[in-house]
Amino acid sequence: MAVIADDKKLSSGVLQNNLYENVNRQFNKAADLMDLDSSVRDRLSKTTNEITVNFPVRMDSGKLEMFTGHRVQHCDVLGPYKGGLRYHPAVNINEVRALATWMTWKGAITDIPFGGAKGGIQFDPSKYSKLELERITRRFTFALGNNIGPEYDIPAPDVNTNAQIMAWILDTYLSMMPPHERQRCSHVVTGKPIEAGGSIGRDKATGQGVVFSIVEWAKDKGFNLDGATYMVQGFGNVGSWVSKLLKPYGSKLVAVEDATGVIINSEGIDPDDLTIYVKANGGVGGYSKAKPGDHETFIKTKADIFIPAALENQITAETAPLLNVQLVAEGANGPTNPDGDKILVERGIDLLPDILCNSGGVIVSYYEWLQNKRSEFWDIEEVDSKLEKRMKKAYIKVRDAARNYKTDWRTAAYIVALSRLETVLKERGIFP
């Protein structure tokens, strides 16, 4: 878990946009182009359940503090609700709605039997002790009660949450179950520590999926990854894994931005060395084997591939014209807003959209869930090869839809997802 040490950029208005509006614009564009059934369109344009809980937690000082958390469940027609939990001061109901909706599309594109959900607590975890974080997590789980469950709604890590936090959720949830039912409920969360029932390969899964997508794109384009340059925004779970996993292909990391600063080195930054530094120092700021820079210099850096792996609304009408790259591979959810998308298309910059590119996390979460249900432990080769096969299949479907509909890749990814959902929703109909 990367600690967000400096939130200056968050108060600059970047995240104040209504993220849910972005989702609706993306959705409407695809629905128009594919002529989506109007009743299916109505159903998918609304979330199913929105749970907001206000709950008290005792601080180390002995004082009590109130917190607000959300869980939004968008659609469960393909399977149980599934999606991460985010701890961040910018968490709000519209953001959670957007993130929940994207989860539905991801499950649909990758053919996994999950619906979409997301949750979060609005607070800055870097300002609380480990014991306070544990109590906040446990009280949130208690407040959610039966709104989550192993066959109903399954949380996972997201920004500022990690395997440890999943272990606390698991323990709290199981403690609320009757003793004889506890052993069959370990799949109530995924992204757990391996010893507590997590899957090998889940920690790197999102980054691994991003890399598998980039490799497919490179094959399609006849692009040589050996010697290619890449820049990464966010050096937490997703950003650090993408960086490390691209290294064996001979690609060179030339710039990184996180909440603590920007570092640039056209000769290359070693992702493994940087990971050790970030673990010790909480961020990339101050890394001595690269030059410091500012946000604008970072965005203008010349590189072949840009991997946004931090927060949303980073590639916009203001920043998209400044990018100096051939490909944007979205590790983060919603890093590009619709205005940014338009400019990327106009400028001929390729895009691997979030709902395809970062779906490796939910895919391996599905594998973890399956292993728990069957009391199995797969090895890393099995997890990786299954992930690669599924990512490739999803990539090909999106690429072909882009060709068939003569549209951009984000709209194509939506069309793939919406087609599957349309079929199932029409087959099942409406009760009563």
Please tell me the distance from the alpha carbon of residue 253 to that of residue 229, in angstroms, as a whole number: 6
Q: Toward ligand NAD, which CB reaches closer, 243 or 372?
A: 243
Place of tokens 């599924």: 390
- Could you tell me the smallest distance in angstroms from the CB atom of residue 64 to ligand NAD? 27
Select which of 82, 106, 118, 252 is catalytic.
118
Q: Which residues bind ligand NAD (CB under 6 A)?
A: 1-2, 4, 9-10, 157-160, 206, 233-239, 257-259, 283, 309-311, 331-333, 358, 361
Is 332:309 a contact under the CB 8 Å cutoff? yes
Q: Toward ligand NAD, which CB reaches closer, 6 or 32?
A: 6
Q: Cα angle at 138 between 137 and 142, to 5 degrees?
A: 120
- Could you tell me the smallest distance in angstroms from the CB atom of residue 246 to ligand NAD? 15
Q: Toward ligand NAD, which CB reaches closer, 3 or 349?
A: 3
Please tell me the distance from the alpha carbon of residue 65 to that of residue 52, in angstroms, as a whole number: 17
Please tell me the distance from the alpha carbon of residue 146 to that of residue 397, in angstroms, as a whole number: 36
Helix (H, G, I), strand (E, B) or coil at 25: helix
According to DSSP, the residues that pair with 292 across neighbouring strands are: 263
With CA atoms as reference, report the closest residue to 287 among 271, 305, 304.
271
Distant-in-sequence, close-in-space partners of 429: CB < 8 Å, separation ≥ 6: none
- Could you tell me the smallest distance in angstroms from the CB atom of residue 338 to ligand NAD? 17
Closest-approach residue to ligand NAD (CB) = 236
Please tell me the distance from the alpha carbon of residue 219 to that of residue 246, in angstroms, as a whole number: 15
Please tell me the distance from the alpha carbon of residue 143 to that of residue 57, in angstroms, as a whole number: 11
- Could you tell me the smallest distance in angstroms from the CB atom of residue 198 to ligand NAD? 12
Q: Toward ligand NAD, which CB reaches closer, 40 or 205?
A: 205
Q: Toward ligand NAD, which CB reaches closer, 34 or 253?
A: 253
Task: Give one DSSP letter per residue of 66-111, joined into a string.
Answer: EEEEEEEEEE-SSSSEEEEEEE-TT--HHHHHHHHHHHHHHHHHTT
Reply yes or no on whether 118 is catalytic: yes
Please tell me the distance from the alpha carbon of residue 279 to that of residue 191, in angstroms, as a whole number: 19
- Could you tell me the smallest distance in angstroms from the CB atom of residue 311 to ligand NAD? 5
Instruction: List active site positions.
Output: 118
